[in-house]
Chain A
Amino acid sequence: MNYGPLIFLAAFFALAGSWFGFVITPQVQMGRQQPTNTLGSPVTYPVSRPGLARQGLQVYRANGCADCHSQQVRQSGTLLVVALTDRGTNQAAVVAALQKLKPGLSGSDAARMLQDLPKPILSSTKRQEADAAVKSLSTAGAKAALSIVPQGPDLERGWGKRRTVAGDFLYDNPVLLGSQRVGPDLANVGVRLPDMNWELCHLYWPRTEVKDSPMPACRFLFEKRPIGSAHSPDALVFPPGTDPAPGCEIVPLPEAQALAAYLVSLRADAPLFEAPLAPIPAAAVSTNTPAASGITTNAPTANTPKPS
């Protein structure tokens, strides 16, 4: 019997099926994504990277950085955190409301919770529960803010504030997600380490900045030259006691400048509809400053993302 047509059909459908599933379906699903507004503000996100950073993406790609560094933050869940921001005037009513929210809380403990505001009161995964808590506290005269706090091992390591989504990579070509984590995730490295000099020193000699770093030094991206009549303005400033070449200066080549600009531009932390986020109001640093609640604004407190 001639199995030729059958084998042809089987191969055809196997390839067509995978093309349909891996190419066409994702294209239909999210191929037309556009920049959107971040939550609660008219800021457009994402914006394309500056020109130098766009060149840096190609340096990142050419040097295989994506072999050891991922750019995708994962999230395992989300918590709704109710934080008390203003205790109001009727302390007894607020204490009663707190005790109702947290059964078994003694009156003195509840009164102690009213110190050092803002303070997280309740964490929940159910919106109804959190909304009810905010309502009961505001009925008692206090002010409470609802924060949305993404959770997960990656976020605990400080690799981001929320998971990364497709919209974060809208202007990247190619998208360098990476699949291994020999080094830390870099989706938010521009938020953690925004200093160009730090990035360049770390590229030249990783061990000066991070002890025991296994990262290979990218010395070929730098030029080592004797100091002339004056320092080059671009020369690296190493941390004290770690100057790798006394008497010489290390000047980054354009590729290194571009790569560092790209790293600094990596920040995927804007609150989006598909990855909501609202930070817990930060505690006031000094008690001498007038309370921010004295200024009447229409802006909801929980809604304004911290400028980063």
Chain B
Amino acid sequence: MSPDRASSLPLPAETAEPKAVDVAVPVGLLVLLLVLLFGGMVYFDQHGAWFKPEVYTPYISVADLQSFQPPTGGINLERGKVVYESVCGLCHNPDGAGKPNQAPPFAGSEWALGSPNRMIRIPLSGLNGTVKVKDVDWNLSMPAMGAALSDDDLSAVLTYIRSSWGNKATPITAAQVKAVRAEIGNRTQMWTVEQLNAVP
């Protein structure tokens, strides 16, 4: 193409350069964004469980997760066995036969089979002094081994003691343990046999 020919052609009119101007964001768009943000916050509040580590997707809150837990019915003897073997069994022997000069037996013991109120008190505050178990005098001192156990664990272990090794006594419920705990308050002094015998 020769320069002469090009210069003879009419030039098209140049379009104007684009220019930035101030235009306000539509109020409707702002309102829509705020509504979406609010909706998102409400959804998060209701379904996000606020970063609780135990709540995973199909569940939306701790309360929702709680409602899907399997029922815990009755007293858990299996749990009682575990607590017994870790807390009581070292001295009282895993088979409940006791150990000479350490701890009296549970199997066939009139204390293990007798009044729940007396039995619950012994692990809660301990027992000091002479105690007669199966016609043998034991002059020992037991610390408050059960004070740190929960009501559920203590009732499970006591029920395990009362229903194992040939023992067949009534179970002890967590409510009974709770009631005794409330009765004795924060007593740390060990019981004596006379004090226990005064309890129904």
Q: State the CA gap A77–B54 with chains docked (Å).
A: 16
Answer whether A273 and B54 are a contact pair too, CB < 8 Å, given A80-B68, A303-B72: yes
In the bound complex, do residue B58 and residue A127 qualify as a contact, i.e. CB atoms below 8 Å apart?
no
Answer whether residue B101 sits at the interface, using C-beta atoms and an 8 A cutoff. no
Answer whether residue B82 sits at the interface, using C-beta atoms and an 8 A cutoff. yes
Answer whether residue B41 sits at the interface, using C-beta atoms and an 8 A cutoff. no
In the bound complex, do residue B70 and residue A40 qualify as a contact, i.e. CB atoms below 8 Å apart?
yes
Q: Which of B65, B75, B79 is close to A276, meaning CB atoms less than 8 Å apart?
A: B65
Instruction: Report the contact-size class of chain B (Cβ under 8 Å from the partner).
Output: 20 to 34
Answer whether residue B137 sits at the interface, using C-beta atoms and an 8 A cutoff. no
Would you give the 0/1 interface string for A61-76, flagging 1 where the beta carbon is closer than 8 Å to chain B?
0000000000000111
- CB-CB < 8 A to B171: which residues of A? 298
Would you give the 0/1 interface string for A17-36, flagging 1 where the beta carbon is closer than 8 Å to chain B?
00000000100011001000
Answer whether A146 and B65 are a contact pair too, CB < 8 Å, given A274-B54, A298-B77: no
Q: How many pairs, one residue from A and one from B, have CB atoms within 8 Å of each other in the complex?
A: 79
In the bound complex, do residue A298 and residue B70 qualify as a contact, i.e. CB atoms below 8 Å apart?
no
Would you give the 0/1 interface string for B52-75, flagging 1 where the beta carbon is closer than 8 Å to chain A?
011111110000010111111111
Answer whether A163 and B68 are a contact pair too, CB < 8 Å, given A298-B77, A298-B171, A299-B78: no
In the bound complex, do residue B58 and residue A163 qualify as a contact, i.e. CB atoms below 8 Å apart?
yes
In the bound complex, do residue A278 and residue B56 qualify as a contact, i.e. CB atoms below 8 Å apart?
no
Answer whether residue B43 sits at the interface, using C-beta atoms and an 8 A cutoff. no
In the bound complex, do residue A127 and residue B53 qualify as a contact, i.e. CB atoms below 8 Å apart?
no
Answer whether residue A275 sits at the interface, using C-beta atoms and an 8 A cutoff. yes
Q: State the CA gap A39–B73 with chains docked (Å).
A: 12
CB distance from A178 to the nearest CB of B (A): 18
Q: State the CA gap A127–B51 with chains docked (Å).
A: 24
In the bound complex, do residue A78 and residue B69 qualify as a contact, i.e. CB atoms below 8 Å apart?
no
Q: Which of A42, A80, A127, A152 is close to B79, meaning CB atoms less than 8 Å apart?
A: A42
Answer whether residue B109 sits at the interface, using C-beta atoms and an 8 A cutoff. no
In the bound complex, do residue B68 and residue A148 qualify as a contact, i.e. CB atoms below 8 Å apart?
yes
Give the top 8 A-B pairs by smallest Cβ distance, nearest first.
A300-B73, A127-B67, A278-B70, A30-B53, A274-B54, A42-B82, A298-B74, A276-B68
Would you give the 0/1 interface string for A59-103, flagging 1 where the beta carbon is closer than 8 Å to chain B?
000000000000000111110100000000000000000000000
14 contacts between A and B (CB under 8 A): A40-B70, A40-B72, A78-B58, A126-B67, A148-B70, A150-B58, A152-B58, A273-B69, A274-B54, A276-B65, A277-B70, A298-B159, A298-B171, A300-B74
Q: State the CA gap A275–B74 with chains docked (Å).
A: 22
- CB-CB < 8 A to B75: which residues of A? 298
> Contacts A147-B70, A299-B76, A300-B74 given; 9 further ones with Cβ under 8 A?
A29-B51, A40-B76, A42-B82, A75-B58, A78-B58, A80-B68, A127-B68, A148-B69, A276-B65
Interface residues of B (CB under 8 A from A): 51, 53-59, 65, 67-79, 82, 159, 171
Answer whether residue A166 sits at the interface, using C-beta atoms and an 8 A cutoff. yes
CB distance from B175 to the nearest CB of A (A): 16
CB distance from B49 to the nearest CB of A (A): 11
In the bound complex, do residue B74 and residue A299 qualify as a contact, i.e. CB atoms below 8 Å apart?
yes
Q: State the CA gap A236–B71 with chains docked (Å).
A: 46
- B66 (CB) vs chain A CBs: closest residue: A127
Answer whether residue A140 sits at the interface, using C-beta atoms and an 8 A cutoff. no
In the bound complex, do residue B72 and residue A273 qualify as a contact, i.e. CB atoms below 8 Å apart?
no
- CB-CB < 8 A to A80: which residues of B? 68
CB distance from B88 to the nearest CB of A (A): 15
Would you give the 0/1 interface string for A258-280, flagging 1 where the beta carbon is closer than 8 Å to chain B?
00000000000001011111100
- CB-CB < 8 A to B67: which residues of A? 126-127
Answer whether A39 and B54 are a contact pair too, CB < 8 Å, given A298-B75, A298-B77, A299-B77: no
Answer whether A273 and B65 are a contact pair too, CB < 8 Å, given A74-B57, A298-B171: yes
Within 8 A of B (CB), among A1-50: 25, 29-30, 33, 39-42
Q: State the CA gap A25–B51 with chains docked (Å).
A: 9
- CB-CB < 8 A to A302: which residues of B? 70-71, 73
Answer whether residue A165 sits at the interface, using C-beta atoms and an 8 A cutoff. yes
Q: Which of B69, B73, B78 is close to A42, meaning CB atoms less than 8 Å apart?
A: B78
Within 8 A of B (CB), among A97-152: 126-127, 146-148, 150, 152
